Amino acid sequence: MTLMVSVSGVRGIVGDSLNPDVIGRWVRALAAILPPGPVVIGRDSRTTGEALSAAATAFFVASGRDVHDVGLVPTPTVQLAVELWHAAGGIILSASHNPGQWNALKFVDHGGSFLSPERFQELVAAHEQNSSPWSEARGYGGMQRRHEEALDAHCAAVLQGLDVARIREAKLKVALECGHGAGGTLLPRVAAELGVDLHVRHEEPNGQLLPNPEPTLGTLTKISEEIGPGYAFLAMTDPDADRCGFAIPGTEFLGEEWTLPLVVAHRLSQAKGPVVTNLSTSTRLDVTAERHGVSLHRTPVGEAHVVAGLRELGGLIGGEGNGGVIDPRVHLGRDAAVALAVLCEAEATQVGGLRGLAASFPTRIMVKEKLPISENEGKGWEGPLESKLGPAEDRRDGLRWSFPDGFLHVRASNTEPIVRVVAEAETESVARDRIMGARDALENS
């Protein structure tokens, strides 16, 4: 399996395309482009994470950098630590939703956000040159462990700005699926601070990930059936806890695509400002932005692109439809703990709670499909699609067509050797027809 290199990070199968030699070269490249100062390293719960994190630490130290090791924590905890501790940058060992045999390096710039596309190209150039000098013995950096300090700081940041008193008064009962991922280190403590009666599944972050670790519609449906009614809502994190799926058990309001629209609708009821999301996110956001008289801006898929849009526009709220909420009040990065906390506030303060808020949206059904694609096929699929479906309206990230009730978006994944096909419509049959049209064009090209 070839190493996957994109603005989303460097991903591979451990022992195959990803090994300590590969990690060392990328770490030295990052050390070369970051400003002076210490770096932060953290990891998710994958069983390979501790060893690979130790390798990354060694290469940073040998490059003359001091390392703050925050250990097993959510991805956004590392990002926030870089920002709060004024570090030069950092690395997160996490392959997010990929299966357990995978791992990855995610690169954090000074300021706490992932590398922008432009900064990532600087990193790639430094990696190709492979000329970063080793430090002399007296110039070696040191290492300091700051696990609890990082989690405490993250929890405090999430709580600021929330109506904690109202949430505590509501005495919410919430279910949370951590999937043995990094979310178990933080989200239960956030819920405890909010006075939430939390039923946690698979809390221990032991790396024994669920067979389907993504908070997708299918997984959330299955968990909702298992836990039954009696909860205000169900939340589910992915392995590194930057995404949060949502469900109200026993209703049609479930799926990762519900999280961001509900959070955005709640925030726009409190304040006004631009909303930023990606090209694959539900048009429910268009609806709520129009209702509140604010602008909605779409970017290519990827946290770095959405963050760049939020920075440029001074956005109020943003994120991605896979359950990734970005609240600039906390930090510019997707954060499952933020999503959980804001959903609790919405349940406690909105008329009718989250159920009433969800019911106010028009019906939108989204269907997603993954089509395997070889490296040779990776660049040749766009022409056949446009020949069959007509010219795309947006070509910034694959091809996207808009419709009155939704869209069709086809793009090559940054994290897997696949093409992602996403369709939304008022009915499932129409959404599947759109998927089928794209699939036929791809398979017959």
Could you tell me if residue 78 is inside a domain? yes
Q: Same structural domain for residues 260 and 314?
A: yes
User: Cα 162–213–396 angle (5° rounding)?
Assistant: 75
Q: Same structural domain for residues 233 and 298?
A: yes
As a whole number of angstroms, the distance between CA 89 and CA 66 comes to 11
Could you tell me if residue 154 is inside a domain? no
Q: In this structure, what DSSP letter does residue 139 have?
A: G
Query: Can you read off the two tokens belonging to residue 413?
Result: 């994944």
29 contact partners, CB below 8 Å, separation of at least 6: 123, 124, 126, 127, 130, 132
Amino acid 379: pLDDT: 61
Bridge partner list, 418: 372
Amino acid 376: pLDDT: 43
- pLDDT tens for 26-47 read 999 999 999 999 999 999 999 9
> Domain span at residue 251?
160-359
Q: Same structural domain for residues 126 and 21?
A: yes
As a whole number of angstroms, the distance between CA 16 and CA 34 comes to 28
Could you tell me if residue 338 is inside a domain? yes
Last residue of a domain, one of 147, 168, 199: 147
Contact 432/367 with Cβ under 8 angstroms? yes
pLDDT exceeds 60 at position 83: yes
Amino acid 160: pLDDT: 96
In this structure, the dihedral spanned by the alpha carbons of residues 166, 152, 73 and 257, taken in order and rounded to 10 degrees, is 20
Mean pLDDT throughout 232-257? Answer: 96
User: Cα 183–185–191 angle (5° rounding)?
Assistant: 80
Amino acid 381: pLDDT: 82
Contact 307/333 with Cβ under 8 angstroms? yes
Q: Same structural domain for residues 310 and 406?
A: no
Last residue of a domain, one of 340, 359, 378: 359
Bridge partner list, 399: 410
Query: Can you read off the two tokens belonging to residue 338?
Result: 């933020």
Sign of CA dihedral 212, 185, 310, 272: positive
Q: Same structural domain for residues 193 and 54?
A: no
Confidence tier at 1 by pLDDT (50, 70, 90): low
CATH code, domain with 143: 3.40.120.10
- pLDDT tens for 327-381 read 999 999 999 999 999 999 999 999 999 999 999 999 999 999 998 876 545 567 8
Among residues 249, 251, 262, 252, the alpha carbon closest in space to that of 340 is found at 262
- The model carries a pTM of 0.94
Could you tell me if residue 413 is inside a domain? yes
Residue recorded with tokens 């007509």 = 390
Query: Can you read off the two tokens belonging to residue 201?
Result: 């599944």
Among residues 415, 17, 397, the alpha carbon closest in space to that of 243 is found at 415
As a whole number of angstroms, the distance between CA 282 and CA 150 comes to 33
The sheet with strand 406-412 has its strands ordered as: 365-372, 418-425, 406-412, 399-403
Could you tell me if residue 152 is inside a domain? no
Q: How many domains does the chain have?
A: 3
Amino acid 384: pLDDT: 87
Length of the chain: 445
Contact 434/408 with Cβ under 8 angstroms? yes
Among residues 285, 253, 266, the alpha carbon closest in space to that of 350 is found at 266
DSSP SS3 for 356: helix
Percentage of the chain exceeding pLDDT 90: 89
Give the burial class of 160: count Cβ atoms within 10 A of its Cβ; 0-12 exposed, 13-18 middle, 19 or more buried.
exposed
- pLDDT tens for 107-121 read 999 999 999 989 999
Question: What are φ and ψ of residue 245, in 5° steps?
Answer: -80, 165
As a whole number of angstroms, the distance between CA 188 and CA 92 comes to 21
Q: For strand 233-237 and strand 173-177, is the pairing parallel, antiparallel, or unpaired?
A: parallel
Amino acid 347: pLDDT: 99
Could you tell me if residue 153 is inside a domain? no
Q: Same structural domain for residues 105 and 218?
A: no
CATH code, domain with 430: 3.30.310.50
Last residue of a domain, one of 359, 392, 420: 359
pLDDT exceeds 50 at position 399: yes
Q: Same structural domain for residues 186 and 66?
A: no
As a whole number of angstroms, the distance between CA 168 and CA 236 comes to 21
